Amino acid sequence: GRLLDENGEPLALKVGRLEEPADSQIFTNRNGVFVATGLTAGAYRLTVSGRRYGFAVEAVKPGFTELGDLEPQ
């Protein structure tokens, strides 16, 4: 997925925490893109630079699940 700020700009080169139900760190690249591995189907919360994001993994498939652009909640 790609994390955006309140103005639609990418959150570049940031460290964040994937909180629920997993607990792990994520990192964004220069374009705000992050990758999280080992996720199962379910709802997740993510905090980066004081901003909270939510996303869901519908079904686990081999390879990547594209989350698209995520805006703060």
Query: Confidence band (pLDDT; 50, 70, 90) for 2?
Result: very high
pTM over 0.85: yes
Q: What does the pLDDT average to over 7-17?
A: 97
Q: For residue 44, what are its two tokens?
A: 């997740």
Q: Which residues partner with 2 through β-bridges?
A: 33, 69
Q: Is the pLDDT of residue 64 over 90?
A: no
Q: Is the pLDDT of residue 61 over 90?
A: no
13 exposure class (CB count in 10 Å sphere: 0-12, 13-18, 19+):
exposed
**pLDDT at residue 37, as a whole number:** 82
**pLDDT at residue 36, as a whole number:** 87
